[in-house]
Amino acid sequence: MASVLFCAAPPPSIFVFTIMPQEFVLIGFYFLALLYSVIMHEVSHGVMALWLGDMTAKYADRLNLNPAKHIDPFGSIFLPALLIITTGSAFGWAKPVPYNPYNLKDQKWGPLWVALAGPGSNLLLATVASLFAFALPLSQLAKQDIVARFAQAVYGGGSFFERFGSLTEALSGSLPQVLFGLLLIIIFWNVVLACFNLLPFPPLDGSKLLYVLFPIREETKVWLEHYGLFFLLFAVFLLAAPISFFINIVLSFFIRLAL
The mean pLDDT value for 117-126 works out to 96
pLDDT given at position 14 = 40
The mean pLDDT value for 142-147 works out to 93
The reply to whether omega before 203 is within 30° of 0 (cis) is: yes
Which of 116, 153, 167, 155 is CA-nearest to residue 244? Answer: 155
pLDDT given at position 139 = 92
- pLDDT tens for residues 2-45? 555 544 444 444 434 444 567 778 878 888 888 889 889 999 99
pLDDT given at position 253 = 96
pLDDT given at position 9 = 46
The count of structural domains within the chain is 1
**More confident of the two residues 132 and 107:** 132
Buried (b) or exposed (e) across 126-142, using 16+ Cβ within 10 A?
A: beebbebbeebebeeeb
Residues designated as active site = 42
**Model confidence, pTM:** 0.85
Show the domain range for 50: 4-258
Average pLDDT over the chain, rounded to an integer: 83
